Structure 1
Amino acid sequence: MLTHIPFPPLPAPPSWFPGHMLQFQRMLPTLLNKTDVVLELRDARLPLTSINRNFEGALQKWRRERGKEIPTGAFSAVDASATTPMAGPSTGPACQRIVVFSKRDLVPEWGIKPFQRAMAAKYPDQSVFFASWNNRRDIKALNELLVNVAREHPHRPELNVLVVGMPNVGKSTLLNALRSIGIAGPTPKALRTSAQPGMTRVLSTRLKLSVDPLVYAYDSPGVMLPFLGKGDKGAERGVKLALIAGIKEGLYDTETLASYLLYRMNVLDPVSPAYLRLLPPDSSPVLYVQEFLELLAQRLCMLKRGGIPDTSRAAVWFIKWWREEGGLASAAAPALPASASGLGLQSWRRGWGFDLEWDVDAAESGRYDESMIQAKMEECIDRFEAAAEAEEREGGAISSTQVKKMAREIQRARQEMRSRARLAAKKGW
């Protein structure tokens, strides 16, 4: 069992904010004027890290302008296994924000309902939906949700949906799937997709998702945060996003990603981390990434000349394994294992994905249920929000380059005002 797990050294986060992202961010307030439903996509493996807080200001203003006050205490999770109920007709403007967590098939099922309830408690203005693009039932349920929103507003000739989110969360793939469900007959793929971020660079033309009622959607470019943060928090945020392929490939070294991945798995289960199934039989948990990659390369027969383990290939394979199945395997079940008492442990680290982690003590393990998991998740969300607000207050969400640019713009504006004042005084205006 590992007793001390050091945080791995991580590089400063890269800056990846191409011009098309800035252009769309500036267009967003105008686009929202003709939008009825916002589908905001996030990655279920990083349900908090994949939040783009830069959208919040525009989305909150959009709701206020539509006369939609943020409700309190309303449960707004959507269960894909149930038929979505339709409310009565509404005469007011349509204004609904649906947060769709993609990659449902890569997170443990036991955490989905508690997380939905935790999100509903903390963000009552958002409807929460989990989906896997490979699951036709999920896509059909989301399609029914959009159709029902359109039917709730019969006075509107059509419903316009805007899809937003960070890069590579599956926006284009989702729209292709929704179109195949909502349009009868064969429907060719309308939007190009890629496993790498940045495929969509401009706002798409309107895509028809339903004929009766009429539902149209716009696909948008994925928008990354302009600055991922300072210190360890920013470095960790960047690595997390790189692990889900949300950042352009090549900005991070694969061994760096493997090092962080090893650390997180050790934290979640220091006795029997999920990666042990990949190593030779009877292997023990490993602290250091170089030792781990050598063992993994030997097990996979990834060897260079002379029998030297090819750790670079092993790192690539390890990351791919986590993306495809390891994320599901590494999210340990919530209950405290029976072996904990024999090891003299008073608490156990549990988690759901890499964003939600909590301690379970021996007294809680016997009465662990969904309500307690929900409470733990709500605490995680509170910590996330508090940290984000503190970061904004301290200027941690803005890079030094951005600070200098803002200072130059302020100075330029002041000089322009003084010039205008002198000109007005000279001409006697």
Structure 2
Amino acid sequence: MATIQWFPGHMAKAKREVSEKLKFVDIVFELVDARLPLSSRNPLLNQILQQKPRIILLNKADLADPKQTTQWIEYFKNQGITALAINAQESQGIKQIVPLAKEALKEKMARDKARGLKPQAIRAMILGIPNVGKSTLLNRLIGKKIAQTGNKPGVTKGQQWLKLGNELELLDTPGILWPKFDDEAIGMKLALTGAIKDQLLHLDDLTIYGLDFFARYYPGHIKTRYAFADESLLGGELIMQLSQGLGFRDDYDRACERIIHDIRQGKLGRFTLDRIEEVDYE
């Protein structure tokens, strides 16, 4: 697979805006895909945020392997970062966000109180790569549909302040994605979860990657979803068999689209592509 180049102008602008607006917020909510706790993080963020307090929100936790999610939360905790598993679509975990933000900012709030300042709403910024669920999270936090949602990368274009009662004010920002993926596996993982445009990859390559992953880490899941599947088959041979079994005959592109859709929707079971046991702790 060729190195993926995808860094639209509005994302370069977003990076500048984040850097400029950072001084106006108390804390950053870094939204990642629970299936990709590392690969869906933007490596530029550490450089941009520096010492700014943050909470990592592992969204779409209902689609991720729960054992892996628990271990990832512990992993971030060991790095001194609070992490929380959420499912923005179903509002699961949402009510814990503000209390966690207050806990992270308790020293600042105590200093403000000692200086005689009136309690202010926490000002926060939600950051994440495209299609990780920022707009859905905003809608759940505010309690009404105020942010445009879409199931494709790059829906959010502008920047706006949103008020959540008297406790929280949110600055929504477009997703930022790094200029290129030097690691081919990261590109594949992002594509398999829908974080980057399908047109950037060959669907058969992506399908083979997904099927190989399930065969290795979740044996039996392919067979459970497609009763006619022979999991001993590899790559293109398995796609051909699935294409026949799904009634698509020789329309392999259509079969690939269906398989990728099934994986993204969790129809092959819950999974986590970034494996905690493979993390380099150095």
Q: TM-score, normalised by structure 2?
A: 0.88
Tell me if the contact between 2:208 and 2:239 (Cα under 8 Å) persists in the aligned partners. Answer: no
User: Which residue is 1:99 aligned to?
Assistant: 56
In 1, Cα distance between equivalents of 2:46 and 2:229: 49
Q: Which amino acid aligns with 2:24?
A: K
Number of corresponding residues: 274
Match of 2:147, SS state, is: coil
RMSD across aligned C-alpha pairs, in angstroms? 2.2
Tell me if the contact between 1:98 and 1:129 (Cα under 8 Å) persists in the aligned partners. Answer: yes
Tell me if the contact between 1:38 and 1:163 (Cα under 8 Å) persists in the aligned partners. Answer: yes
User: Which residue is 2:274 aligned to?
Assistant: 355
Deviation at 1:241, TM superposition (A): 0.8
In 2, Cα distance between equivalents of 1:326 and 1:236: 22
The answer to whether the aligner puts 1:283 opposite 2:238 as a matched pair is: no
Deviation at 1:294, TM superposition (A): 2.0
Q: 1:223 aligns with which of 149, 155, 176?
A: 176
The answer to whether the aligner puts 1:110 opposite 2:67 as a matched pair is: yes
In 2, Cα distance between equivalents of 1:137 and 1:284: 34
User: Which residue is 1:313 aligned to?
Assistant: 254
Tell me if the contact between 1:150 and 1:158 (Cα under 8 Å) persists in the aligned partners. Answer: no
Q: Which amino acid aligns with 1:160?
A: R
Map 1:5-404 → 2, pairs under 5 A: 11-60=1-50, 63=51, 96-121=53-78, 123-124=79-80, 126-146=81-101, 153=109, 155=117, 156-180=119-143, 187=144, 189-203=145-159, 205-211=160-166, 213=167, 215-229=168-182, 234-269=183-218, 272-281=219-228, 283-289=230-236, 291-303=237-249, 309-326=250-267, 328-329=269-270, 331=271, 353-356=272-275, 377=276, 380-382=278-280
Match of 2:29, SS state, is: strand
Residues 200-221 of structure 1: CA deviation (Å, up to 9, x unaligned): 1222x2100122x3x1101111
Deviation at 1:295, TM superposition (A): 1.6
Task: Extract unaligned runs of 5+ from structure 1.
Answer: 1-10, 64-94, 181-186, 304-308, 332-352, 357-376, 387-429
Deviation at 1:317, TM superposition (A): 0.7
Match of 1:206, SS state, is: strand
Deviation at 1:151, TM superposition (A): 7.7
Deviation at 1:104, TM superposition (A): 0.5
Tell me if the contact between 1:133 and 1:139 (Cα under 8 Å) persists in the aligned partners. Answer: yes
Larger radius of gyration: 1
Q: Which amino acid aligns with 1:43?
A: D
Deviation at 1:96, TM superposition (A): 2.5
Deviation at 1:260, TM superposition (A): 0.8
In 2, Cα distance between equivalents of 1:283 and 1:275: 9
Highest relative contact order (Cα 8 Å, sep 6+), 1 or 2?
2
Q: TM-score, normalised by structure 1?
A: 0.60
Residues 186-237 of structure 1: CA deviation (Å, up to 9, x unaligned): x3x111011000011222x2100122x3x110111111111211xxxx2222
Q: Which amino acid aligns with 2:215?
A: N
In 2, Cα distance between equivalents of 1:235 and 1:115: 22
| CA distance 1:327–1:12, change in 2 (3 Å) | farther
